[in-house]
Chains A and B, each alone.
Chain A
Amino acid sequence: MSVHITSPDFKANARKALADAPLQQALAKVGPGFIGKRAAAADKLPEFKALRDSARDIKNHTLAHLDLYLERFETKARAAGGHVHFAVDAAQARDIVLDICRQLGAKTVTKGKSMISEEIALNDHLEANGIEPVETDLGEYLIQIRGEGPSHIIAPAIHLNKEQVEADFRRVHADLPPERNLSEPTALLAEARGKLRERFLAADVGITGANFLVAETGTSIIVTNEGNGDLTQTLPKAHIVLASLEKLVPTLEDVSQLLRVLARSATGQEMSVYTTFSTGPRRADDLDGPGEYHVVILDNGRSGMLAGQFREMLRCIRCGACMNHCPVYHAVGGHAYGWVYPGPMGAVLTPSLIGIEKGRNLPNASTFCGRCEQVCPVRIPLPKLMRNWREKEFERHLTPATQRYGLAFWAFFARRGWLYRPATRAAMAVLALAGKARGRFSKLPLAGGWTQYREFPAPEGGTFQAQWAARTSAQKSAR
């Protein structure tokens, strides 16, 4: 897995994605797969809208007192026998994890799904240091054996088709009989399960992400549908939780509210199949559990977001509803976004984490259709935040020159009505005349972006304002 940043090449990535037939086939299932299920789950719950308000308020409250809740979490987790580590950036987080693994002499590390692990490129770091990471979430396992990054925050291999998975399994699981039947998804699942079972038992350390960290109890929580997270975290000698600091919530009561919107927004389930609470390592009278429990809390630029205009992004609970409803995501998929977080949430978060210079394409590649904000369970105003990035980009003169000059040219006239009216009138007269015969243009100077794919309609001729002025003066003289 690699987290090489290709966000600056979004346009080229998008073109490639649009021409990728198997990808387009896989993407065609994203909308139908998620949208209807979320809508049905939301409609069944009369208080869903109120729950979203409540979820937003819980996260806002937590962010307003984040220092307090971080300290509280640390105290409680330590009291339960756990270790809490704060990592300022990705490099520090990687080193903390590596140190823990080394102290335990770890050779194999199993991993539950963690976007923070992707963000800090943990697998590369572990491999470079002689430790083998094994992804145990089926989707993560698939992209690991393909050497890819996730294309969706909750369905990392959504860009793949069954046939591709079968081919990968035949390539990677070379010890299994080649004549085995893998045509059914259940066969693929059973094979992955068999392969992973060996790895669960061999692992020295288990690493998971966290959907929530609960301040009042020092508990980390993961939600999964495969049960792999439980095996990852209970079987090895140590369980390491990777979480970013906005995962904090004050109480278990708050978590129970957030869980009610999370799965419904994500997959349309009322609850995910497994919701696992972990507090500290195995106690003396516990039947199982890890000997050590570590929580690595990553900042990586987020505390800077707290003070600025992107603070609301820290409410995100990573349900993926924004990308599931995004026409741009549906068209190009997650890899085109060029880093770890795709879709509308990625378009806001990515520039915060890797810088607007590298991330500028992402908040621009949106039609502002507003569907993401409409479904966000914590009511993040995603289009507004994307627009805020465009403002930062404009202020810092990062907008491409052609767009900037074009905008300035247009603005010069729009701010001067006395010039705008004759200028538009003259321009439209020329265009109307040129397009009179066909009523439209297939090619037009300076409009290549448009006419490459569409006809451009010819104007009717004469502006409305000019015609209206003529009409009213004719009416006056008639009186």
Chain B
Amino acid sequence: MSMREQSPVSVGLFVTCLVDTMRPSVGFAAVRLLEAAGCAVSVPRQTCCGQPAFNSGDRATTRALAEQMITAFETFDYVVAPSGSCAGMIKTHYPELFVGEPDWMPRVERFCAKVFELVSFLADVRGVTHVAAAYEGTVTYHDSCSGLRELGIQAQPRQLLASVAGLTLAEMPDSDVCCGFGGTFCVKYPDVSNAIVEKKAANIVASGADTLLAGDLGCLMNMAGKLQREGRSIRVRHVAEVLAGIGDTPPIGQPRPSAAGLGEAGQGRKP
């Protein structure tokens, strides 16, 4: 791993509410990757960036959560999140919430300038080109929409995955097309969301990969949930887990090996 020689930069890790609650191992993977890239990682007390409120039209709640977020994280050199969606929310949308407020705006802009999504931070800011990890398998990578279109994350994860020993990348068709998650969209319009994730699942299967990776837990839960409902055995993980070489956690939606015997019996739904 290439590392800068300067004194460690301070990084406030915004784990995101989904990783915090659903899959803490992604947070620990992020810590491992950031520390290996010469960062001193802190985890200030945190809740949510406000995106669910923002996309539901609730500006007042969004604004309150944005202030909470800025206050908690603004002392660090960088703020890093293992999610393009949450990082994009902060970096590209927070300024909209403070338009016409000269006492806030410069502070918000200073803050947003140091917010990054994890993998692009490693590659673009820390200059990481290789990771010390191994993964036996063929993976396919889904480009989550916000990370791709708001933050330009496309080459970075593929570049770092290429350095993982034993890993083969097999692109799926339309890897840059939405998986149908869309935050609350997936429960507000479940039929439409399902139609979209069905196409995504077919593309994932068509790649021939045994593992699906992406950089956003929401999308991953959606795709994993669909693949498993279809009885597919494709493993689903956050890209940070593979880059950090954390393989002891079961894939998303899979039981811990000790309990596996019980669980696998109950899901005989192979197509």
Q: Of A14, A389, A438, A468, which is within 8 A of B267 by CB?
A: A438
Scoring A residues 451 to 464 as 1 if CB is less than 8 Å from chain B, else 0, what string do you get? 01111111110111
Considering the chains assembled together, what is the distance between the CA atoms of A436 and B255 in angstroms?
6
Beta-carbon contact of B262 and A438 below 8 Å: yes
Interface stretch of the complex, out of A165-173, A203-211, A222-230, A368-376: A368-376
Minimum C-beta distance from B227 to chain A (A): 9
Beta-carbon contact of B225 and A456 below 8 Å: yes
Beta-carbon contact of B263 and A463 below 8 Å: no
- The answer to whether residues A453 and B22 also contact, given A367-B145, A414-B47, A468-B27 and a CB cut-off of 8 A, is no
Q: Of A366, A437, A459, which is within 8 A of B255 by CB?
A: A437
Considering the chains assembled together, what is the distance between the CA atoms of A364 and B189 in angstroms?
9
Considering the chains assembled together, what is the distance between the CA atoms of A439 and B235 in angstroms?
13
Closest B residue to A467 by CB, please name it. B24
- The answer to whether residues A424 and B20 also contact, given A415-B61, A454-B197 and a CB cut-off of 8 A, is yes
Minimum C-beta distance from A420 to chain B (A): 5
Q: Which residues of B contact A454 (CB under 8 A)?
A: 194, 197, 222, 225-226, 228-229
A15 at the interface (CB under 8 A from B): yes
Which residue, of A384, A389, A439, A442, has the highest number of chain B Cβ atoms within 10 A? A439
Closest B residue to A387 by CB, please name it. B55
Q: Of A371, A415, A427, A447, which is within 8 A of B178 by CB?
A: A371
Closest A residue to B23 by CB, please name it. A460
Q: Of A394, A442, A468, which is within 8 A of B58 by CB?
A: A394
Considering the chains assembled together, what is the distance between the CA atoms of A373 and B194 in angstroms?
23
Considering the chains assembled together, what is the distance between the CA atoms of A452 and B52 in angstroms?
21
Beta-carbon contact of B21 and A463 below 8 Å: yes
Q: Of B24, B46, B146, B250, which is within 8 A of A462 by CB?
A: B24
Beta-carbon contact of B57 and A399 below 8 Å: yes
Beta-carbon contact of B253 and A449 below 8 Å: no
Q: Of A392, A395, A455, A465, which is within 8 A of B45 by CB?
A: A465
Beta-carbon contact of A465 and B43 below 8 Å: yes
- The answer to whether residues A421 and B262 also contact, given A370-B146, A450-B187, A460-B22 and a CB cut-off of 8 A, is no
Q: Which residues of A contact B224 (CB under 8 A)?
A: 455, 457
Beta-carbon contact of B59 and A391 below 8 Å: yes
Interface residues in B17-49 (C-beta closer than 8 Å to A): 17, 19-25, 27-28, 43, 45-48
Beta-carbon contact of B21 and A424 below 8 Å: yes
Q: Which residues of A contact B132 (CB under 8 A)?
A: none
A193 at the interface (CB under 8 A from B): no
Q: Of A331, A368, A415, A450, which is within 8 A of B145 by CB?
A: A368
A11 at the interface (CB under 8 A from B): yes
Considering the chains assembled together, what is the distance between the CA atoms of A364 and B192 in angstroms?
12
Beta-carbon contact of A11 and B189 below 8 Å: yes
Minimum C-beta distance from B204 to chain A (A): 14
Closest A residue to B221 by CB, please name it. A457
B182 at the interface (CB under 8 A from A): yes
Which residue, of A15, A367, A410, A437, has the highest number of chain B Cβ atoms within 10 A? A367
Closest B residue to A388 by CB, please name it. B57
Q: Which residues of A contact B183 (CB under 8 A)?
A: 367-368
Q: Which residues of A contact B180 (CB under 8 A)?
A: 327, 367
Q: Of A428, A447, A453, A463, which is within 8 A of B194 by CB?
A: A453
Q: Which residues of B contact A427 (CB under 8 A)?
A: 21
- The answer to whether residues A14 and B189 also contact, given A424-B20, A460-B25 and a CB cut-off of 8 A, is yes
Beta-carbon contact of B43 and A399 below 8 Å: no
Beta-carbon contact of A391 and B57 below 8 Å: yes
Beta-carbon contact of A457 and B253 below 8 Å: yes
Scoring B residues 153 to 170 as 1 if CB is less than 8 Å from chain A, else 0, what string do you get? 000000000000000000
Q: Which residues of B contact A64 (CB under 8 A)?
A: none
Q: What's the count of A-B pairs with C-beta under 8 Å?
A: 217
Q: Which residues of A contact B58 (CB under 8 A)?
A: 391, 394, 407, 411
Q: Which residues of A contact B267 (CB under 8 A)?
A: 438
Chain A interface residue count, Cβ-Cβ cutoff 8 angstroms: 66
A178 at the interface (CB under 8 A from B): no
B4 at the interface (CB under 8 A from A): no
Closest A residue to B195 by CB, please name it. A331
Minimum C-beta distance from A345 to chain B (A): 18
Q: Which residues of A contact B17 (CB under 8 A)?
A: 414, 424
Q: Which residues of B contact A331 (CB under 8 A)?
A: 192, 195-196
Interface residues in A326-383 (C-beta closer than 8 Å to B): 327-328, 330-332, 364-371, 373-374
Q: Of A395, A452, A462, which is within 8 A of B57 by CB?
A: A395
Considering the chains assembled together, what is the distance between the CA atoms of A18 and B25 in angstroms?
37
A393 at the interface (CB under 8 A from B): yes
A390 at the interface (CB under 8 A from B): yes
Beta-carbon contact of B197 and A407 below 8 Å: no
B191 at the interface (CB under 8 A from A): yes
Which residue, of A366, A369, A442, has the highest number of chain B Cβ atoms within 10 A? A369
Considering the chains assembled together, what is the distance between the CA atoms of A293 and B221 in angstroms?
59
Closest B residue to A390 by CB, please name it. B57
Minimum C-beta distance from A11 to chain B (A): 7
Which residue, of A384, A390, A449, has the highest number of chain B Cβ atoms within 10 A? A449
Considering the chains assembled together, what is the distance between the CA atoms of A365 and B22 in angstroms?
26
Q: Of B149, B188, B266, which is within 8 A of A374 by CB?
A: B149
Query: Could you list 6 A-B pairs, sorted by A, with CB under 8 Å?
Result: A373-B149, A389-B57, A424-B21, A457-B225, A459-B23, A464-B20
Known: A368-B145, A453-B226; 20 extra A-B contacts, CB below 8 A, are A15-B191, A327-B178, A327-B180, A327-B199, A366-B185, A367-B181, A367-B183, A369-B177, A369-B182, A370-B146, A371-B149, A437-B263, A438-B255, A439-B250, A453-B193, A454-B225, A456-B221, A460-B23, A464-B43, A467-B24
List residues of A whose CB falls within 8 A of some B CB. 11, 14-15, 18, 327-328, 330-332, 364-371, 373-374, 384, 387, 389-395, 399, 403, 407, 410-411, 413-415, 417, 420-421, 424, 427-428, 436-440, 442, 447, 449-450, 452-460, 462-465, 467-468
